[in-house]
Amino acid sequence: MSRMNFNNAPLIMGLEHAADKPLPPDSPSLAVPAIRRRVVSEPCLPERLPNSSVLRREAESLAPNALQKELASHHPEDVIDSADSELETSHTPEEVQDEPPASPSSQKGSSLFKTIVKSFSGFASSTRQSQGPVSWSDVQPFEVMKAVEDSNIMFLMEVRDRAFPLLLRPSGGQTPLVHAIRIGNKEVAIVLLGAFSRYINHLDDADVLKPQTQSHLKVLRTGLKLAINQGLANSQNDLIASFMQTLIMSEGDKWVWAQVSMVSRELNAGPEGQPVTMAGAAVRRFTTKELGKADMIASLEDYIANATADLLVMGAWASVLQSISADNIPSYYFARDDRVYKAFTTRLQQHQTEIDQKCPRQLRYQLAILKSGFEGRKITFRRKIELITAQLENGTT
């Protein structure tokens, strides 16, 4: 029987040729896979994960509900029996004896549920005892955002009282107020605006000039201006006044002192000067420039009158400082209730003797008009401004 021989020379030559010069991909004899393009990696900075205390709080609130849903799919009757809340009450031995015996399957499922829930409850309680009460510094910005979406007013009020900076801290590129406005949650937006106004009005004088406070004021100013542009000023009466106060306290220092100097010159001019008119016009120009809408100025008359009164008082005291040595009235008192007037009367009492001896008679007359004109709360600031204008500029008594 003859042996069959195979000629492998063409195959070997083809392999050598492929090794030296790869064939094109469409070649029927040897297919070369196409080279895949390398995926270019781009570095990114993801938002950090919540800390352990936040995860623990969510676990303690969500785990019981998840456990009940899981058991409901296997033992629906046990979930109904567990509605008596094993976590809140414990039965006494007498109560246990009075209860009717349960079926073996029910006992098995119920014991499983109770064991798991009690073990979870024990872990949670031991964790709380070891960790102590949860600090509000552990609350994360995304929790505030969730409260905004869920209209959780009580939680937001707690944040306002215990951790106010969280209401200003952005999450996902926007602050809670901006988020509330964009999703159309007007109720929450008004609550946040009320918290902002409360913060501004109750801000301690010693904290106004701190860098952190100034940073908060700038964020507040941006949020308040956005709320004004969205038309929320119609339902929040003091919104525009709060915006102007924030603007003055954050960046209006130079403007305040420039107007105080102008009012002081007008007072020194005597009967020819127009301190009240000039002060009121300066405030109106400033508010119109910052708000950009004339129809809003009409609802701001009380604020304009208050600011005009403060400029008059601060200008008069600046004239006093030209004759005596005393403390100035801080610029951050401006347009914040009656702080300027209280500081003015306090300084008048402290330096009354020096004022009587060293200040010109005309200035002493102007000081008396301002002190008596702005005293009391029986009439509005607008009416007070009208009466003082008649005395200082028109010469009536």
Of 220, 248, 276, which residue is a domain's last? 248
Binned at pLDDT 50, 70 and 90, residue 386 comes out as: very high
Q: How many other β-carbons are positioned within 10 Å of the β-carbon of residue 160?
A: 18
Alpha helices for 202-293 (secondary structure H): 211-229, 239-251, 253-268, 275-291
Binned at pLDDT 50, 70 and 90, residue 87 comes out as: very low
Number of domains in the chain: 2
Would you state the pLDDT for residue 314?
A: 96
Longest dimension (CA), the chain: 146
Type of residue numbered 136: W
Per DSSP, the three-state class of 397 is coil
Q: Are 327 and 373 in a shared domain?
A: yes
Angle at 369 (CA atoms; ends 367, 375), nearest 5 degrees: 100
Residues 6+ apart with CB under 8 A from 353: none
Q: Are 175 and 289 in a shared domain?
A: no
Q: How many other β-carbons are positioned within 10 Å of the β-carbon of residue 331?
A: 20
At 310, which helix (H) or strand (E)? Answer: helix 301-320
Per DSSP, the three-state class of 306 is helix
Q: Are 260 and 172 in a shared domain?
A: no
% of the chain beyond a pLDDT of 70: 65
Of 248, 268, 299, which residue is a domain's last? 248
More confident residue, 107 or 374: 374
- 54 lies in a domain? no
- The predicted model gives 337-365 an average pLDDT of 93
- The predicted model gives 374-397 an average pLDDT of 85
- 274 lies in a domain? yes
Would you state the pLDDT for residue 117?
A: 47
Binned at pLDDT 50, 70 and 90, residue 163 comes out as: confident
Q: Which domain holds residue 237?
A: 141-248
Give the closest residue to 280 by CA, choosing from 271, 291, 290, 288: 288
Binned at pLDDT 50, 70 and 90, residue 149 comes out as: very high
Would you state the pLDDT for residue 368?
A: 95
Say how far apart CA 143 and CA 196 lie, in whole Å: 19
End-to-end distance of the chain based on CA atoms, in angstroms? 146
Q: Are 244 and 149 in a shared domain?
A: yes
More confident residue, 125 or 15: 15
Residues 6+ apart with CB under 8 A from 156: 144, 147, 148, 167, 176, 188, 191, 192, 195
Q: Are 150 and 192 in a shared domain?
A: yes
Q: Are 226 and 313 in a shared domain?
A: no
Indicate if the pLDDT at residue 380 is higher than 60: yes
Q: Are 384 and 257 in a shared domain?
A: yes
**Most confident listed range (98-107, 270-279, 289-298):** 270-279
Q: Are 183 and 229 in a shared domain?
A: yes
Say how far apart CA 75 and CA 354 lie, in whole Å: 89
Average pLDDT value over all residues in the chain: 76
Reported pTM: 0.60
String of DSSP letters for 182-214 = HTT-HHHHHHHHHHHHHHHHT--GGGTTSHHHH
- 52 lies in a domain? no
Q: Are 235 and 269 in a shared domain?
A: no
Would you state the pLDDT for residue 281?
A: 93
String of DSSP letters for 316-368 = HHHHHTTTS--PPPPGGGTTSTTHHHHHHHHHHHHTHHHHHHHS-HHHHHHHH
More confident residue, 7 or 344: 344
String of DSSP letters for 69-119 = HHHHTT-HHHHHHGGG-TTT----HHHHHHSPPPPHHHHHHHHHHHHHHHH
Binned at pLDDT 50, 70 and 90, residue 75 comes out as: low
Q: Are 271 and 309 in a shared domain?
A: yes
Of 192, 216, 248, which residue is a domain's last? 248
Dihedral (CA of 154, 159, 164, 165) sign: negative
At 302, which helix (H) or strand (E)? Answer: helix 301-320
Q: Are 291 and 353 in a shared domain?
A: yes
Q: Are 175 and 294 in a shared domain?
A: no
String of DSSP letters for 109-157 = HHHHHHHHHHHHHHHHHHHHHHH-SPPGGG--HHHHHHHHHTT-HHHHH
Q: What are the pLDDT digits (tens) for 286-333?
A: 888 877 665 666 667 888 888 999 999 999 999 999 999 999 998 888
Show the tokens assigned to 198: 């409360």
**Most confident listed range (27-31, 120-124, 369-373):** 369-373
Q: What are the pLDDT digits (tens) for 200-253?
A: 878 887 788 788 888 888 888 888 888 877 777 666 666 777 777 787 877 767
- Range with the lowest mean pLDDT among 40-44, 148-152, 355-359? 40-44
Rg (CA), the chain: 38
Per DSSP, the three-state class of 230 is coil
